[in-house]
Structure 1
Amino acid sequence: MKPDGRIRVMEIIARMNVGGPATQVSGLHERLDREEFDHRLYTGHVDGHEGDHLLLHDVREPVHRVPGLGRPVDPGDDYRALFWLVSAMRAFRPHIVHTRTAKAGALGRVAARLSRVGSARVHVFHGHLLHGYFSPVRRGLYVGSERVLASMSDRLVTVGSRVRDELLQAGIGRPEQYVVIPPGVRPGPVPDRGAARAALGIPQDAPVVAYVGRLTQVKRPDRFVAVAHAVLGRIPGCHFVVCGGGELDRQVERDAETIRDSFHLLGWRRDVETVYAAADVVLLTSDNEGTPLTLVEAGMAGTPVVSTRVGSVAEVVRDGHTGLLSSTDPDELAAHTVRLLSDPGLARRMGGAARDWTTCAFSLDRLVADTEHLYRSLCEARGRHLLTQGNGR
């Protein structure tokens, strides 16, 4: 396809903080067929207490910074971002406007309508935002606004079937608008266990449990610390590794003060594969999740997981086969963790099964292929004129 005949995609995300959405965007931005797609990324700035995916991974792809598009909701910033996006759309004339995260999804879809460019509109729901994020009043406002925004959307993409079902039950969108596209990951090279532990300063012969993710309320790092105390009561030599950061980092440090000799706070690391390789078990303690990439990445590294049975976790972890699922009770999570630490054969079998399953179901190549198919189908559905609009500008 000639360069001026490429499908132009304007991808908008509020901020590229370390986490699942940024990983997906970065993978797509890098791997989409550049001869067929002109894919451009528009984003705001990352808050000071969050890890910046672009900096952490030294992403050199061009990025368009949108003034006011960061996470905080502020009427002045929001209007500035909205009209900046309208202007950018009229200049770029995208065939497809692809939005992620709530704020970017609202501003991007409204801007697409105001710009009158005629773009197809896609919005991605990365998690179960109906639970654990908002007060009842704010949840009602969110649901009402998403119902309106769904009427401005050609496709609504979810990372799991359960996310889609919950949104439909809330009256957001119509069944035919939805497409389920699970996340995709391209793991980095996984070091051997000895080298990983040496790099992290962890004893070679100690049982190790890892937490990877943001230190924020919905992820419940306090529950991880509670599980650590319970596990240490049965396996005194166990060590616990926390890879991540957020607004609760100091609280976690205080909660773990009495077990600090067994607790390792690593902050954000670029080589997260080193953490998975060093761990015997990866533990996820969240109140709510979409389709968590932490568990996908752990599986690809061959590390079994213990997780709360929330969101679409069960679409990643096959309970009893690739890992163990639990209620949110710290004692039950601790019992599952102790079971895997006490039975290396079981942990090894689950880790191998997890590697086979996640590598097949959650590859980056599959994500790219699914997304390219979505883009092509949207252009075909909206008419071939989308592929010629704005050429020769």
Structure 2
Amino acid sequence: MKPDSRIRVMEIIARMNVGGPATQVLGLREGLNPEEFDHRLYTGYVDDGEGDHLRLHEAETRVHRVPGLGRSIRLGDDYHALFWLIRAMRAFRPHIVHTRTAKAGALGRVAARLSGVGAARVHVFHGHLLHGYFSPAKRGLYVRSERLLASMSDRLVTVGSQVRDELLQAGIGRPPQYVVIPPGVRLGPIPTRQEARATLGLPQDAPVVAYVGRLTRVKRPDRFLTVAGSVIRQVPGCRFVVCGRGELEQQVQRDIEGARDSFHLVGWRKDVETVYAAADMVLLTSDNEGTPLTLIEAGMAGTPVVATRVGSVAEVVRDGQTGLLAAPDPGELAMHVIRMLSEPDLARRMGTLARDWTTHAFGVERLVSDTEHLYRSLRGTPGRHPVTKENPR
């Protein structure tokens, strides 16, 4: 296909911090066919204290930096970013504006409407902010804003069916707008258990539980530490590896002061597969999730998990087969962790099934194929909106 006939895609994300959205963006950047798609990435800067995904993975990808775009809401910066995006759209003239994260989704979709370029508008919900983030008043404002933005969107993409259903239940968008595209993941070479533990400075014979993710309120590292305390009382010598950083890192440091030898805080690691390989199991304690990449990666490494049954977690973890799910209750979670550590045959069997399932269902190649299909479906009808009674398609 000639370069001037390629499908032009303008992908906008607030910041490329370590996490699921950035992983998906890089997977697409590496996998999309450059002869068919002219895909350009527009993003702001990662805040101090957050891991920079591009820097951590030494990614050689061209990025268009958007002044004012980032995590924090500042009216002056947001206004600047909005009009910068409008000018960029008029220069690039994309067929598709593809947004991720709440702030970029708002600015990008409004800019696409004001720019007059007639681009189709796609927004991805990697999760949502309906639970665990806001006070009731702020939640109401978030829902009203997302309802308005959904009316400006041609497609709303979710990473799982449960996330889609919860958004629809909140009145955000309509069923014909939604497309479910699960995440796609690729791990690096997985070391042996012995190699991984030696790299991380862990005892070869101790039970090891891993936490991989941001140390932020919705992930509930406090619940993780409560569960860890219960496990240590029942499984003496158990070690807990915490891979991640965030605004609660100092609080976590304070809370483990009395049991420092039981915890290994390793920060963000480029070789996250080393953490999975070293662990007997992975523990996720969140109040809210989309389709968590941590659990997909753990499965691909053959490591079983215990997790809270929130968001689309149950679409990754087959309860009783590839891991164990629980309510967001420290007692129930601790019971599952102790069972997993006490029954190594069960853990090995679940890890094997998890590797088979996640490798089949969540590969990067499938993510790229699904996204290319979505782009092609929108190329012929840029700027038109999904079926409504007033505006049939």
SS at match of 1:245: coil
Q: Which residue matches 1:30?
A: 30
2:2 and 2:128 mapped to 1: Cα distance?
40
2:43 and 2:134 mapped to 1: Cα distance?
23
Q: Which residue matches 2:74?
A: 74
Tell me by how many angstroms 1:184 deviates: 0.6
1:382 and 1:144 mapped to 2: Cα distance?
25
Q: Do structure 1's residue 83 and structure 2's residue 86 form an aligned pair?
A: no
1:64 and 1:324 mapped to 2: Cα distance?
42
Q: Encode CA deviations 1:320-342: one digit per residue, 9 max, x unaligned.
A: 00000011111211110111111
Q: Encode CA deviations 1:24-80: one digit per residue, 9 max, x unaligned.
A: 011101110001001000000011011010100001110000011101001000000
Tell me by how many angstroms 1:381 deviates: 3.6
Tell me by how many angstroms 1:146 deviates: 1.0
Tell me by how many angstroms 1:276 deviates: 0.1
Q: Which residue matches 2:51?
A: 51
Structure 1 unaligned regions, length at least 5: 384-393
Tell me by how many angstroms 1:128 deviates: 3.0
Q: Which residue matches 1:268?
A: 268
CA RMSD between the two structures: 1.1
Return the letter of the residue paired with 1:24: Q
Q: Encode CA deviations 1:158-178: one digit per residue, 9 max, x unaligned.
A: 011111111111111111010
2:287 and 2:382 mapped to 1: Cα distance?
40
Q: Which residue matches 2:20?
A: 20
Q: Map of 1:18-167 to 2, 5 A cutoff? A: 18-167=18-167
1:271 and 1:201 mapped to 2: Cα distance?
15
Q: Which residue matches 2:391?
A: none
SS at match of 2:241: strand
1:147 and 1:165 mapped to 2: Cα distance?
14
Structure 1 length as normaliser, TM-score? 0.97
2:216 and 2:35 mapped to 1: Cα distance?
40
Q: Which residue matches 2:229?
A: 229
Q: Which residue matches 1:370?
A: 370
Q: Encode CA deviations 1:81-118: one digit per residue, 9 max, x unaligned.
A: 00000000011110000000010000000000111001
2:95 and 2:301 mapped to 1: Cα distance?
38
Tell me by how many angstroms 1:130 deviates: 0.8
Q: Map of 1:343-354 to 2, 5 A cutoff? A: 343-354=343-354
Q: Which residue matches 1:361?
A: 361
Tell me by how many angstroms 1:142 deviates: 0.9
Q: Map of 1:151-300 to 2, 5 A cutoff? A: 151-300=151-300
Q: Which residue matches 1:6?
A: 6
Q: Give the length in aligned residue pairs.
A: 384
1:340 and 1:365 mapped to 2: Cα distance?
32
**Identical amino acids, percent of aligned pairs:** 79
Return the letter of the residue paired with 2:113: R
Tell me by how many angstroms 1:301 deviates: 0.2
Tell me by how many angstroms 1:187 deviates: 1.1
1:272 and 1:78 mapped to 2: Cα distance?
34
- Please say if residues 95 and 382 of structure 2, whose CA atoms lie closer than 8 Å, have aligned partners that are also in contact: no
After TM superposition, which residue ranges in structure 1, 4 or more long, deviate above 2 angstroms? 380-383
2:14 and 2:60 mapped to 1: Cα distance?
19
1:344 and 1:361 mapped to 2: Cα distance?
25
Return the letter of the residue paired with 1:168: L
- Please say if residues 162 and 311 of structure 2, whose CA atoms lie closer than 8 Å, have aligned partners that are also in contact: yes
- Please say if residues 118 and 382 of structure 2, whose CA atoms lie closer than 8 Å, have aligned partners that are also in contact: no
1:382 and 1:265 mapped to 2: Cα distance?
48
SS at match of 2:266: strand
Return the letter of the residue paired with 1:11: E
SS at match of 2:325: strand
1:72 and 1:201 mapped to 2: Cα distance?
37
Q: Which residue matches 2:390?
A: none
Return the letter of the residue paired with 2:159: V
2:379 and 2:310 mapped to 1: Cα distance?
35
Return the letter of the residue paired with 1:102: A
1:247 and 1:119 mapped to 2: Cα distance?
37
Return the letter of the residue paired with 1:312: S
2:122 and 2:61 mapped to 1: Cα distance?
22
2:205 and 2:77 mapped to 1: Cα distance?
52
Return the letter of the residue paired with 1:319: D
Tell me by how many angstroms 1:236 deviates: 0.6
2:229 and 2:43 mapped to 1: Cα distance?
40
1:62 and 1:223 mapped to 2: Cα distance?
39
SS at match of 1:164: helix
Q: Do structure 1's residue 341 and structure 2's residue 328 form an aligned pair?
A: no
Return the letter of the residue paired with 2:311: G
